[in-house]
Amino acid sequence: MLPGVVHVYRVLCVISCILPQLSAEDTYMTRALQLMSETPLIDGHNDLPWQLRKQFNNQLNKVDLNTINNTHTNIPKIKEGRLGAQFWSAYVPCDSQYKDAVRQTLEQIDVVHRMCHKYPETFMFATSSQDIREAFRQNKTASLIGVEGGHSLDSSLGTLRVMYHLGVRYLTLTHSCNTPWADNWLVDTGSEVSEHDGLSPFGKQLVKEMNRLGMLIDLAHVTVKVMNQVLNMSTAPVIFSHSSAYAVCPHKRNVPDDILKKVSEKKGIVMVNFYNDYVTCSKTATLSDVADHFDHIKKVAGAHIIGFGGDYDGVTRVPEGLEDVSKVPALVAELLKRNWTDVEVKAALGDNLLRVLEQVEMVRDSLNNTLPDDVPIPYDEVKNPCRTSYGYPDPADNAGAGHSLSLLVVVFTLLVMII
């Protein structure tokens, strides 16, 4: 063949082979954006507030979220990614437990409030399913708060309730440390010991109180035992705000198949994490690897339990093709390419989370005659040297009471013997 002919052949091949493929990709993207204009994309976990702490010590005046470029999340990326609603994470590290975790968590809640106030065209502070729908109508990102880790409560139901009043709508029961009332996922790796065989009695009180308040219970980061206990006892559906499928990548932060099935029975949701280490169990991953988790969860438990939980700005490695929050529409297009129906895609985008939140709100409303649980955790169950014991019986009195009780028993026994 003459070189010229080869060239013409190549050009023809480009036209006949590549162009139709390109336009097919375009079609998926167009349909993805169409669906995202009908149903809000609701993401379960984003650590931008933690970046604000780490990089600026929460001095929001020194940040411009329109131009910041060393985070996965900024306003142009949010717009491009069609982020309809976000649970912003109020996260503080585990080493603040027994120190200033509660204050630091309050400061993370404060910075989310201030962020919404500073950029009212972009964010709308939100605390309900209705708020999410309203923000979407106004083309704004509904901004909810999730507290990541029970260490943020210092084992206090009063603190849980106050955080609810401040707008917190989920609590991840643990981060990567045990609390005085729940075991974390590191117990399942063998690197930490179980202290409660799951949840302690106080941990169970807390779960019930969350049902009563209308706060989502987040099972990301807990042991499989805790997952089972909560799935068994919660009267409302539960969430995994940022966890992927264990069968696809056997990392203990991921969700095993039998739990996926129980989440399905409970009408809950598993919001898929994009962190490479949880996606492929290695340092590298692609968008297609993430889609494999979506496919697997759909196959095992149904599209009605899937959601998005990117973990952006909380992780150091994200997949090729999902480099920041602007890229999510490409994942939606990939699901369409994999023959997901419009209904399934919309379920994953936001319908599932809205259903879960509405159900949690209904359970709350049905319990509005139930009194708040005001029974505190037993003092000696919290090994926090910074805690005072005000309100708890004086340990000296306790010892005295125990002493006189045993004296009474001795006297009584003696009396019985004499008689």
Distance CA 66, CA 74 (A): 6
Helix, strand or coil for residue 286? strand
| E-strand stretches of 219-359 | 239-240, 269-272, 306-308
Distance CA 222, CA 81 (A): 30
| 138 forms part of the interface with ligand NAG (CB under 6 A) | yes
| 388 forms part of the interface with ligand NAG (CB under 6 A) | no
| 338 forms part of the interface with ligand NAG (CB under 6 A) | yes
| DSSP one-letter string for 369-402 | TSPPP--PPPGGG---TT---TTSPPHHHHHHHH
In terms of Cα–Cα distance, which of 93, 94, 98, 96 is closest to 381? 98
Is 107 a known active-site residue?
no
Is 100 a known active-site residue?
no
**Residue 368 to residues 80, 214, 226, 361, 372, Cα–Cα distance (Å):** 41, 10, 26, 11, 10
Q: How far is the CB of 215 from ligand NAG (least distance, A)?
A: 20
Is 72 a known active-site residue?
no
User: Of these residues, 45, 72, 293, 296, which one is catalytic?
Assistant: 45
Question: Is the CB of 37 or the CB of 404 nearer to ligand NAG?
Answer: 37
Is 7 a known active-site residue?
no
User: Of these residues, 43, 47, 183, 344, which one is catalytic?
Assistant: 47
Binding to ligand NAG, residues 37-96 (CB under 6 A): 67, 69
| 232 forms part of the interface with ligand NAG (CB under 6 A) | yes
The span of 142-150, 229-237, 350-358, 382-390 binding ligand NAG (CB under 6 A) equals 229-237
Q: Which two tokens stand for residue 177?
A: 């440390």
Distance CA 197, CA 177 (A): 14
User: Of these residues, 72, 151, 196, 242, which one is catalytic?
Assistant: 242
Helix, strand or coil for residue 249? coil
Question: Is the CB of 148 or the CB of 183 nearer to ligand NAG?
Answer: 183
Q: How far is the CB of 230 from ligand NAG (least distance, A)?
A: 10
Is 175 a known active-site residue?
yes
The span of 182-190, 216-224, 226-234, 328-336 binding ligand NAG (CB under 6 A) equals 226-234
Contact of 31 with 333, CB cutoff 8 Å = yes
In terms of Cα–Cα distance, which of 270, 241, 273, 242 is closest to 257? 270
| 369 forms part of the interface with ligand NAG (CB under 6 A) | no
| 139 forms part of the interface with ligand NAG (CB under 6 A) | yes
Q: How far is the CB of 228 from ligand NAG (least distance, A)?
A: 6
**Helix ranges, 234-286 (H):** 257-265, 276-279
The dihedrals phi and psi of 191, each to the nearest 5 degrees, come to -85, -15
| 16 forms part of the interface with ligand NAG (CB under 6 A) | no
Question: Is the CB of 144 or the CB of 291 nearer to ligand NAG?
Answer: 291
Enzyme catalytic residues:
45, 47, 148, 175, 221, 242, 311
- Footprint of ligand NAG (CB under 6 A): 67, 69, 138-139, 228-229, 232-233, 338-339
